Chains A and B, each alone.
With several copies, the nearest count.
Chain A
Amino acid sequence: MIEVTTDPIDAQALKNQLCNPGAGGFCSFEGWVRNENEGRAVERLEYEAFEPLVLSEGQQVLVEALQRFPYLDARCVHRTGLLEIGDMAVWVGVAAAHRDEAFKACRYIIDELKIRLPIWKKEHYVDGDSGWVNCERCAEHGRH
C-alpha cells in the first residue's frame, strides 16, 4: 500500500496499521529534509509527483519486495509540496516474522522508489537559487 500526501506524515499511525501478532521484526526508513546537498546549503525542498503512476509503480515495487523478502505487511507514504528542514519526505515501514526480511524488504523498497517513481525534488538554496535534483543540466536554461 502506497500513498501520496501533502499533509505531514504520521509515522506512528502508519506503524500501527502494520501491527500483526505474527510479526517479530519491524523496520522503517524515513527520508528527512536535510540542510545541505552536494555542498550547498538548502533552505527547503519542493516535491512534485505524478500520483497515478507513483501509486501503480509503487505498488509494483511492494510486490517485488514481497516476492524477494517475504514480509507480513508494508506501507509507504511520500509527501509532496513545500517541505522544511527536518520534515519527513518519505516513510517506508515493513513488518515481518524476522528481522532479516524486514530490513531487506525495507531497503529494497526505498532504493527502488527513489529511482523508479515519477517524483521530482526542487532544492531551494539559502543563497536564493534553486535547482531540480538530478536535473541541473538537463534543460537549456539551467536553474530557475
Chain B
Amino acid sequence: MSASVKTITVRYFAMFREHAGVGEETLRLDVATAKDVYEQTRPRHGSKEPNGHCKVAINEEMADWSSPVNDGDVVLLFPPVAGG
C-alpha cells in the first residue's frame, strides 16, 4: 500500500501521553503503515526509541509495524512495557 493522506486517530500511552500532553488526537497523515504513523508522530510522543522497542495496535488489536493503516483507523502507540 502506498502512502496517501489519511485521517488517523493516534492514542498515546504512559510516557508518550505525558510528552504529547494528550491521550488521543486525530491527525491528517501521509502514511502507509503503522511504522509511518510512529515516525511521523515522533515530535508528538517524543520517542527516541527505534519502533522495534515499542508496540503498536490498530483498532484495539495488536499489530505489526508493517501493518497497513486505513483512513479512519485508530493507531495505539505503546512505549516499552513494564508490567508486574
Contact = CB atoms under 8 A, between A and B. Distances in A.
Given A122-B14, A140-B46, A134 B80 contact: yes
B14 A89 contact: no
Contact of A132 (B14, B45, B48, B54): B14
B19 A118 contact: no
A119 interface: yes
A139 interface: yes
A63 to B, nearest CB: 15
Contact of B83 (A56, A117, A139, A144): A117
B54 to A, nearest CB: 8
Contacts, number: 94
Interface stretch (B1-9, B33-41, B55-63): B55-63
Interface residues of A, number: 34
Contacts of B32: none
Interface in A92-144: 99, 110, 113-122, 132-135, 137-141, 144
A132 B83 contact: no
Contacts of B48: 137-140
A112 B76 CA distance: 21
Contacts of B62: 53, 56-57
B81 A139 contact: no
Interface string B62-84: 10000000000000101111111
A135 B14 contact: yes
A113 B19 contact: no
A77 B79 CA distance: 22
A90 interface: yes
Contact of B81 (A89, A99, A116, A144): A116
A56 to B, nearest CB: 8
14 contacts: A53-B60, A53-B62, A56-B61, A57-B62, A78-B83, A110-B84, A114-B82, A132-B14, A133-B82, A135-B15, A135-B49, A139-B18, A140-B19, A141-B46
Given A50-B57, A138-B79, 4 more contacts: A118-B55, A121-B82, A135-B49, A139-B46
